[in-house]
Amino acid sequence: MTTYSAVVTTGIYCRPGCGARPLAKNVLTFEHAAAAEAEGFRACLRCRPYRVAGPVTSDAPELVCRAVQLVIGGALDDGTEAALAERVGLSPRHLRRLFLQHLGASPDQLARSRRAHFARRLLDDTDLTVLDVAFASGFGSLRQFNRTMREVFRAAPSDLRERRRRADRLVADGGLPLRLPVLPGYDWDAVRGLLAARAVPGVEAVDGAVYRRTITVEGAPGVLELSPGDGGHLLLRAHLPYWEGLIHVVDRAARLAGTDVDPGPAVAELATDPVLGPLVRARPGLAVPGTWSALEVGVRALAGASGVRTVVQSLGTPVPGLPGGLTHTFPPASALTATALHDLGMPRADTIAALAKAADHPALGEGTSLSALEAVPGLAEGLRHDLAFRLGVRDAFPSTDPALRSALRRLGTPGATRWPALAAAHLLAAAGPGGQQ
């Protein structure tokens, strides 16, 4: 897990590996950058800790993890801590207490830190205007943006851009390229393999080391590309019609790649299991891949690869001229009606239509849980686990997945664990592409 060292005599915090060598008696340790900033420390200009992934530790309480995912999803962009607390079933005071205990920062402080760090990356890596950076990072106004950047980095955005290292910038050509921080040891090859095995044809594609997919932003099509980067990063290249809200596009891409959770505690436990141990030791950097939308996962699980291809080609929006087999954006929920699906001869059409009708249900978004998914009408237990697995619920185990069943028959059943989702990911990876639906 990434930790940050703050020096009380300088008021600066650093990431591991920084060349600074302060006296140990002057150093405080924080697990999250937001916690250091909440105590008044600013980011080091040498090691630039805002470039390091800082996911929530996977052994934090489930309620905290759910609330953090809601913050990442933008719950505090226009909302309040009180509204966030209500969504997770806690009082605002208790929610703040849990955040301060496990993260060292309040929900508002976490949201502010995330927006500021993302903006700093845009100032370093792109030629977007300062105004575009502000709105792409989720700030409501330029005044709010300037004030926050001064508080976090002790400098105005224009000053931060002037001091950036030009030799370290990416070339903004053919889309907006951004570094997506990953933890040391992260295994993109293994994650990419799981994404490829369950890709939605025409919407997602894997070509060599590159994963691509179409998305829709305010009704207009866009394309995201994920590929290996250097120095502990994936490279995300975004081809988007608008930059406003870019921070949430990047966050969803990070969840898709499984970079937003630290699997360290889970790996340590699973490595001791007789069945899972050899798999975990072979792929210690495997993460559970996420999804762009629960609806895509549900239709793919219910209709299979051939059925979802028919749905995409018939009801999705064509986007010509894209590389690697990308042809359409995934159809909106409003297009997946029972009538339209029956006309296509789609099996389980009524179930798919019911899922589409519930697509805006809060339980099908970030920060969900298996118990929350029980409130969504028409979801059988197997489908709940399929959805929860890709939505980041750590106790999900998609036992109806054919590849997983095949791996269990071949390798045996692992023992009880607090990390069923990561256990399932390792079993699915071991099953290989032959076991996919």
Residues serving a catalytic function are 14, 401
CB 346 within 8 A of CB 229: no
Would you call 5 helix, strand, or coil by DSSP? strand
- Helical (H) or strand (E) element with 184: none
Give the number of other CB atoms < 10 A from CB of residue 319: 18
| Tokens representing residue 173 in the block | 């050509």
| Gap between the Cα atoms of 427 and 45, Å rounded | 42
SS (H, E, C) 55-102: CEECCCCHHHHHHHHHHHCCCCCCCCHHHHHHHHCCCHHHHHHHHHHH
| Gap between the Cα atoms of 372 and 185, Å rounded | 33
Pairing state between β 56-57 and 210-217 = unpaired
The amino acid that residue 107 corresponds to is P
| Gap between the Cα atoms of 325 and 202, Å rounded | 6
CB 374 within 8 A of CB 398: no
Q: Single out the residue of 30, 9, 33 nearest to residue 21, CA to CA.
A: 9
Q: What is the dihedral of CA 320, 322, 327, 331, to 10 degrees?
A: -90
CA torsion through residues 169, 181, 211, 192, sign: positive
Q: Single out the residue of 145, 72, 85, 149 nearest to residue 114, CA to CA.
A: 72
